[in-house]
Amino acid sequence: MNQDNSKISKQNILSHFSNIWIILGIICTIGFLLRIIWIPHEAPLTLDSTGYFWYAIETSITGSFPSIECGWKCTFPNTGWASFLSMFFIIFSSDNYIDYMNLQRYLGLIISVATTIPLYFLCKIFFEKKYAMIASVLFAFNPRIIENSILGITEPMYILSITLMLYTFFQYGKNYPFIAFGIIGIISTVRYEGLLLFVPISLLYFYKFKFSKKNIIKYFIAITILFLIIIPWGMMKTDLIGHDGLISNISAGPKYYNNVVSESQDPNEKISLFLKTGFNTMLRFFVLATLPLLTFLVPLGMYIMISKKESSNFLILFCITLTLLIPAFYAYSRNIQEVRYLLPIFPIFCLFSAYFIRKITEKIKYKKLFLILISIFIISSTVGFIEYKNIDDVNQTEAYEVAKEITKLTKVITYYSQAGYLDNTRILEVNEFPILRKELPYRLVSIYPDNYETFEEYISDNRKKGLEYVIVDKGDWRSKFLDEVFENEEKYPYLIKIFDSKDKGYKNYHAKIFKINFEEFDKLKLVIP
């Protein structure tokens, strides 16, 4: 009888375990499909993602990490993601460079989806499995996470590593803290600011575990594991590019602030401006990043956690959150306008949100039905939000086609929002791929308009540099005078429009190309006082 009961109990456990993985599998599958449909398969990568692409290509061809001779695209500090990519590029075979770029996108996509699994087990430490599932759903179907996961950049791997670190740290097993410190080492290779986590995790280690001789010994073993990862990595980077890419980059932030403040006539005013810009921009992007669901769920979840018996766990999560916010604040204080700096905190945001949903569910009679409806609402709101934001492949594919048109005209152009595609057009001129970046033909020069007050001043100053064409598009970034050119082209008689994407039948991406008539421009200058 006891044996039969034991068998039944084991079967129940196995069935329960199996059900969990089935549900997680469904979440991951839907999350995968929601991402894949927005991948611009015909368009190349752009901006930061091309840096990781070329680093991985260089490594896969040469069999070694690139040195400073490769150029700036190969000398950036965050090479953990690119090194990971290179392992797949080595075994991948295609003569089309976009195939390699799509592989890069897919790997980031898969890593992003896979993060839902350790996030579930992290949240299960705090509350019941059904609410942990809700947290996984919130992450898997978050529109900002989806949008970022298909860009081929570092965030998916960085976020996964942070989630794994949090899970291992909150476990009470004897060996888990060692793993947490080792993961910090890995995190640091993906994004150097991840090394900052060493400070709060060290302090929280003794907060969580008793301050004893035994635990001190364990701590030193843990940080030894961390150093065994970052020291060889730092030494290798120093040999290749002249700096370690870790401490050297972290210290660059305070040096930047110090230099700017010391050069200012009023240092206090400058510091005040940094702080004001940082806080205002961070608050604005918090709202943008957490729409449509997390904006209210996160603060409410934080409030409930700190007001209940979870204040100890909340303190740990709050300290880690503040640490992860330091790089974001640094970027925002420099007026860098990007949502992605807040994404590493999203696993914690999802945990807070699920905590609030748990509190609400406790007051509802039909709990299972409510949670199912919540999950459906999360998925549907995500799809609706993404459609509203128009995250599709048409815009990017068209931007790439416009870049091809630009490369036929000149080597010197006005910088515009989608100028990152210009570098990829060089690959079209080679007969085979993969190829080393230094073997590519000429590179177009994009001249930034940031430091100019007027359009005429911009043209006059850059005329000698070979500026003949002006490109403007309907992007998020434009200087005021280029915005005026785009909206009111008739005011500029010295500009001859030779291309308009709307006239060419482009559906989404609107760009204009103007040739500067310097004869007319010089006449204008004569009447300018």
pLDDT tens-digit profile of 70-118?
Answer: 665 556 778 899 999 999 999 999 999 999 999 999 999 999 999 999 9
Residue that is last in its domain, among 371, 389, 407:
389
pLDDT tens-digit profile of 263-320?
Answer: 766 777 888 888 899 999 999 999 888 877 788 899 989 988 887 766 788 888 999 9
CA-nearest of 39, 53, 42 to 88 is 53
Same domain, 103 and 44: yes
Same domain, 54 and 148: yes
Q: How far apart are CA 414 and CA 486, in angstroms?
A: 13
Residue that is last in its domain, among 370, 389, 408:
389
Sequence-distant (≥ 6) Cβ neighbours of residue 347 within 8 angstroms? 115, 119, 122, 139, 159, 162, 163, 166
**Contact 177/169 with Cβ under 8 angstroms?**
yes
Quick one: pLDDT at residue 14?
Answer: 46
Query: pLDDT grade, residue 155 (50/70/90)?
Result: very high
Same domain, 372 and 427: no
Same domain, 383 and 404: no
Q: How far apart are CA 354 and CA 374, in angstroms?
A: 11
Given the structure tokens 């075979």, which residue do they identify? 93
Question: With 90 as the cut, is the pLDDT of residue 156 above it?
Answer: yes
Lookup: tokens for 223: 């940080």
**Contact 454/482 with Cβ under 8 angstroms?**
no
- The phi and psi torsions of 242 (rounded to 5 degrees) equal 95, -5
pTM of this prediction? 0.89
Q: Parallel, antiparallel, or unpaired for β 412-414 and 445-447?
A: parallel
SS3 content of the chain, % helix, strand, coil (to 5): 70, 5, 25
Same domain, 219 and 85: yes
CA-nearest of 60, 74, 147 to 108 is 147
Same domain, 259 and 170: yes
Same domain, 329 and 441: no
pLDDT tens-digit profile of 418-444?
Answer: 888 888 888 888 888 999 888 888 778
Give me the DSSP letters along 398-467.
HHHHHHHHHHTT-SEEE--TTGGGGGGGGGGGSSSSS--GGGS----EEE--TT-SSHHHHHHHHGGGT-
Q: How far apart are CA 293 and CA 385, in angstroms?
A: 10
Element (H, E) at 495: strand 495-500
Domain count, the chain: 2
Lookup: tokens for 274: 């940094």
Q: On the CB side of 285, how many CA atoms lie within 13 Å of its CA? A: 23
Lookup: tokens for 248: 């050297």
Same domain, 344 and 486: no
Same domain, 75 and 88: yes
Same domain, 258 and 325: yes
Same domain, 224 and 244: yes
Same domain, 350 and 432: no
Residue that is last in its domain, among 367, 389, 411:
389
Write out the residue range of the structural domain in which residue 260 sits.
Answer: 2-389
Query: How buried is residue 76: exposed, middle or buried, by Cβ count under 10 Å (0-12/13-18/19+)?
Result: middle
The region of weakest confidence among 158-162, 246-250, 463-467 is 246-250
Give the strands of the sheet with 511-516, arranged side by side.
445-447, 412-414, 469-473, 511-516, 495-500
